[in-house]
Structure 1
Amino acid sequence: MTESLTVRYLGGPTAVLETGGLRLLVDPTFDAAGGHPVGDRVLTKTMDAVAGPDEVGPVDAVLLSHDQHPDNLDDGGRAYVARAPLTLSTRAAADRLGGTVRALPAWEHAELARPGGGVLRITGVPARHGPDGTEHLTGPVTGFVLTGDGLPTTYVSGDNASLDVVREIAERFAPFDVALLFAGAARTPLVDGELTLGSAGAAEAAAILGARQVVPLHFEGWAHFSQGRDTLAGAFAGFSGGFHLLDPGQRVTV
């Protein structure tokens, strides 16, 4: 019998995952709404955080898609990572953040011991943060796949805009029990094109992955998202699996 996965959506890319007796935090962002400089640009957060670090409490690991953009790791998130027991991310993030941040290259894995025995395996998987050829502008990003005996096979996309990358991941791991898809069709003047999957792309990704359950993340709360709740609901109207468009603070067990 496969155990469940509980997802609590905290807004933006941030979510608490509970499975196999372990707690994980995805892309911690805790700051209030306002402007966040990125070089000579400013990303504008439009929603306050719905939970702070104290309410989230301790976790066994942080899954950090990347550290170079404040919509994925803001000041409050950096403070949280600094005291977390383990953060898995890109090599660049590990070099910049130091401490307990560990690089998890694509197709390599880390294992967390489960309280009741066994392990949760976390595999780093590719992600492409924008159209082909823009990696030098957007920087490295990673996604994650969670597996383990009796646990739901789960994909956490990170800021990935490439369906070719999704196909590559599906070839190794599909079908998926759960897909957490970053899906706001982010756009900035830095790049001509979408920096993350749009709603239709997220629906296509779910089909490629053979996902039974989908929980969108990172589709609201920032001004640079070009799509959101309405377009996601429309794109997944014909989805045959479970589609969970959560409100900030809401949780679902799948």
Structure 2
Amino acid sequence: MRLTHVGGPTLLIEVGGWRLLTDPTFDPPGRRYAFGWGTSSVKTAGPAVPAAEIGRVDAVLLTHDHHGDNLDDAGRALLASAGTVVTTRSGARRLAGSGAVDPGRVVGLAAGSTTVLDAPGRAAIEVTATPCRHGPPLSRAIVGDVVGFALGGGAALWITGDTVLHRELLDVAGRLRVDVAVPHLGGVRFPVTGPVRYSMTARDAVRLCEVLRPRAVVPVHYEGWSHFAQGRRAAEEQFARAPRELRDALRWLDPGVPTDPEVS
């Protein structure tokens, strides 16, 4: 397995001949993006790999389509050339309805449902949507649908998606057998909503990984946007106080550099 961190939540996954891309964000920095209900963010860093240099994309794993820090304009344009787009059910309807993706190439999943990526000459990959709560209790009507993705029948890799730590997420972590965990961090906050968080803090990630016990932890979604309230330092500090096996599992990917996260 090789992972390339493009920036923000965007990760290129190369495994078994497959090339999978998560949450495509390729716009240049400097623009402010509105997320609704008075919230917004400025993109502060561009992609480590331009969209034109990503190469073949067999499938896009899109945790949600309606926030610019998970799908920006250049990322949306890339969807047209990707093989399959897997996302939320509501997102699949929006993407197909807008013409961004041919309806036959987009798959909508609810948490707990599964699809299979298959192609001649490659082992099939089972993709299961996992639950996300992208904010405080009862916020779904405001923040919209979000899912994470577990890859492989035993979840060889788990992308948490944008979520706070909540009971359903911990329950899933207790059932999965994960080699590589990709938590979306950042401890997202907005001035208009005060102390409310919309993604995991570093402390949340440690708690989740204590249940999950993966062989490698690869944080994403912690830099490149002004609404990310916690960066790499916060995660390093929290994991430094974690059990030894989690400290040893933490992997920081150099932006743009393909890396095998299971090789220390």
Q: 1:58 to 1:106 in 2, by over 3 A?
A: same
Other-structure match for 2:6:
10
Compute the TM-score of the two structures, normalised by the length of structure 1. Answer: 0.91
Partner of 2:99: none
Question: What does 1:46-125 align with in structure 2 at a 5 Å threshold?
Answer: 46-98=44-96, 99=102, 100-113=105-118, 116-125=121-130
1:24 Cα deviation from its structure 2 partner:
0.4
What per-residue deviation string (whole Å, max 9, x for no partner) do you get for residues 97-116 of structure 1?
11222101211111122654
State how far apart, in whole Å, the 2-side matches of 1:115 and 1:146 are: 19
2:135 to 130, 146, 152: 130
Q: 1:165 aligns with which of 156, 165, 168?
A: 168
1:37, CA displacement in angstroms? Answer: 2.8
The residue matched to 1:167 in structure 2 has which SS?
helix
Which residue in 1 is equivalent to 2:249? Answer: 242
Q: How many Å separate the matches in 2 of 1:165 and 1:211?
A: 18
Report what 1:185 is aligned to: 187
Q: Which amino acid aligns with 1:31?
A: D
Q: Take 1:118 and 1:68, find their aligned partners in 2: how far apart are those partners?
A: 31
Paired residues for 1:206-245 under 5 Å: 206-237=209-240, 238=242, 239-240=244-245, 241-245=248-252
In 2, the alpha carbon distance for the partners of 1:135 and 1:171 equals 24
Structure 2 letter corresponding to 1:183: L
CA contact (8 A) 1:20 1:114 kept: no
Kindly provide the CA deviation profile for residues 203-252 of structure 1, in whole angstroms up to 9, marking residues without a partner as x. Answer: 11111112111000000000001101101111112441421122321332
Q: 1:67-119 CA deviation, whole Å, 9 max, x = no partner?
A: 11000000001001122121100111111111222101211111122654531
Asked if 1:202 is matched to 2:214, the reply is no
| Map of 2:20 onto structure 1 | 24
CA contact (8 A) 1:128 1:159 kept: yes
Residue matched to 1:37:
34
Tell me how far apart the structure 1 counterparts of residues 149 and 23 of structure 2 sit (CA, whole Å): 12
- The answer on whether the counterparts of 1:93 and 1:101 sit within 8 Å (CA) in structure 2 is no
SS of 1:155's partner is strand
Same amino acid, percent of matched pairs: 38
Return 72-81 or 115-124, whichever deviates more. 115-124
- Indicate conservation of the 8 Å contact 2:57/2:81, yes or no: no
Q: What is the RMSD computed on CA atoms of the aligned residues?
A: 1.8
Question: Mind listing any 5+ residue stretches in structure 1 that lack a counterpart?
Answer: none
Query: What displacement does 1:41 show?
Result: 4.2
Q: Distance in 1 between matches of 2:82 and 2:121?
A: 22
**SS in structure 2 opposite 1:182?**
coil
Larger mean CA deviation between 85-94 and 239-248 belongs to 239-248
Q: TM-score w.r.t. structure 2 length?
A: 0.88
Residue identity in the other structure for 1:12: G
Bigger drift between 214-223 and 154-163 goes to 154-163
Worse-matched range after superposition: 45-54 or 120-129 = 45-54
| Count of aligned residue pairs for this structure pair | 247
| Ranges in structure 2 where 5+ consecutive residues have no aligned partner | 97-101
